Amino acid sequence: MAEFLNNILFIFQRLSWLSALDVLLVTLIFYGLLYWLRGTQAMALLRGVILTVVALVLITSLVSLPAFSWLVQNSLPALLLAVPVIFAPEIRRALERIGRAGTLTIALNRNAHPGLEQTISIVVTAVARLSARQHGALIIMQRLDSLDEYIRSGVRMDATVTPELLLQIFYPNTPLHDGAAILSGHRVVAAACVMPLSSSGILNRSPERQMGLRHRAALGISEESDAVAVVVSEETGAISIAHAGHMIRRIDPERLEHILNAFFQPAANDRTPKWFRRFISSGLLRKSEKQ
């Protein structure tokens, strides 16, 4: 025990501010990797890779197996080269998030969109009526990230948002019923838009696996951008909301309005970095999931 304490003291005596910075940077890198991979299928794959490597190292170090050790030593470089291929979607998503966080902050607030409070009220009213009628709907509310790529996949509208317009868009068997309606400020920019489907596997692990393409699309666009997606289930009329790769289900219209107001709170005089505001928004949604 005394020797162990002496070794610890020796390490702290040699620790400088550069060494502390070095350790901190490595810690942040590993934390960032685990944070981006959380809740994805890649996390299980990563655990499998780590356990396999640890098991191989223990076997080759504890037991004298020359042929097996030679095979492992020559196979590890190939495995390291295969990592970017295996984790390509997660790496691309992480780089996209870094790129979005590094862009200049755009003033998205109620002053920039004078009708934003009214828009939220309109969306909540329309969603409540769609839920009561069990009409499926997917409404995407744009924030800072551009959604032009997905707008081009749908029917351009550029109309003032009203409850009646949203009800008509998502009326069953109409041409605009399938797909998502994208809102920017107080305008419905486009309808019948095609959204990317989530590949995270979160919905597959849900106890309620009957969630269909709307929920997967809502989760998918929330993974690809900072937009807020509101979903109404066609089977049950349940209301859900997705943001930053997280989804809460079965919320009432009042709670939906509170969450939307929190996401679109004024930011005109807010000098907080964009990445920090997105982190706070993600934390808000995760907190709501637990309630």
Residue in this structure with the two tokens 């005394």, named with its chain if needed: 2
CA–CA gap between residue 288 and residue 261 (Å, rounded): 14
List the one residue out of 275, 278, 156, 137 whose CA is nearest residue 218: 137
Instruction: Check: CB of residue 259 under 8 Å from CB of residue 222.
Output: no
Fold of 116-290: YojJ-like (1 (3.40.1700)
- Copy the structure tokens of residue 228: 């807020």
- Average pLDDT value for residue range 88-107: 57
What is the model's pLDDT at position 55? Answer: 83
> What residues contact residue 262 under an 8 Å CB cut-off, 6+ apart?
281, 284
Residue of 253 and 16 predicted with greater confidence? 253
CA–CA gap between residue 176 and residue 194 (Å, rounded): 11
Mean per-residue pLDDT over the chain, rounded: 78
Q: Out of 5-9, 63-67, 255-259, pick the least confident.
A: 5-9
Q: For the chain, which residues make up each domain, given as ranges?
A: 2-101, 116-290
List the one residue out of 148, 132, 131 whose CA is nearest residue 239: 131
| Confidence band for 268, pLDDT divided at 50, 70 and 90 | very low
DSSP bridge partners of 239: 232
Instruction: Check: CB of residue 223 under 8 Å from CB of residue 198.
Output: yes
pTM: 0.63
- Average pLDDT value for residue range 281-286: 51
Residue of 105 and 175 predicted with greater confidence? 175
Which tens digits make up the pLDDT trace of 127-181? 999 999 999 999 999 988 889 989 999 999 999 999 999 999 999 989 898 899 9
Residue of 131 and 115 predicted with greater confidence? 131
Which tens digits make up the pLDDT trace of 204-213? 555 555 568 8
